[in-house]
């Protein structure tokens, strides 16, 4: 099956991924179960957020995260895990947050699709 994403978009994502760190859905779930302190940020669109999200996540869509992140998470040393549908938009957002001085930001590889495939809990 062909990718629904354009080659230029995928090149942009791959370039961003070369500069960021990613976590698997299993690693993120383990962090939750261990009670680790971190921000879980959903960067999907509002309609996607309304349709279901990972429990405990906050919403800062890709369209506004760079504008609003310093108001919501002012601590640039805070651990932040970003996710989207498949891990592409969250990689782009993670790259930008690093450029803004956030030092402990991660993108969740595979996004909420991989989370759901693993059978991990979500809320509506």
pLDDT in tens, 10-46: 999 999 999 999 999 999 999 999 999 999 999 999 9
Arithmetic mean of pLDDT over the chain: 95
What pLDDT is attached to residue 3?
62
> Which string of DSSP letters, residue by residue, matches 49-83?
HHT-EETT-EE--TTTHHHHHHHH---TTSEEEEE
Q: At what angle do helices 89-99 and 7-17 cross, to 10 degrees?
A: 50
Q: How many residues appear in the chain? A: 124
Q: Binning pLDDT at 50, 70 and 90, where does residue 4 land?
A: confident
Predicted model pTM: 0.94
* Residues catalogued as catalytic: 84
pLDDT tens, residue by residue, 67-107:
999 999 999 999 999 999 999 999 999 999 999 999 999 99
């Amino acid at each position: 099956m062909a990718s629904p994403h354009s080659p230029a978009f995928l090149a942009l994502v791959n370039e961003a991924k070369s500069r960021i760190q990613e976590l698997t859905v299993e690693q993120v779930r383990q962090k939750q179960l261990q009670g680790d302190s971190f921000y879980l940020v959903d960067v999907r669109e509002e309609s996607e957020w309304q349709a279901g999200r990972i429990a405990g996540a906050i919403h800062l869509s890709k369209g506004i995260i760079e504008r609003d992140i310093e108001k919501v998470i002012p601590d640039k040393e805070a651990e932040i895990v970003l996710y989207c549908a498949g891990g592409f938009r969250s990689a782009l957002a993670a790259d930008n947050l690093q450029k803004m001085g956030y030092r402990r930001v991660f993108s969740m590889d595979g996004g909420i699709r991989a989370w759901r495939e693993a059978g991990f809990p979500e809320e509506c």
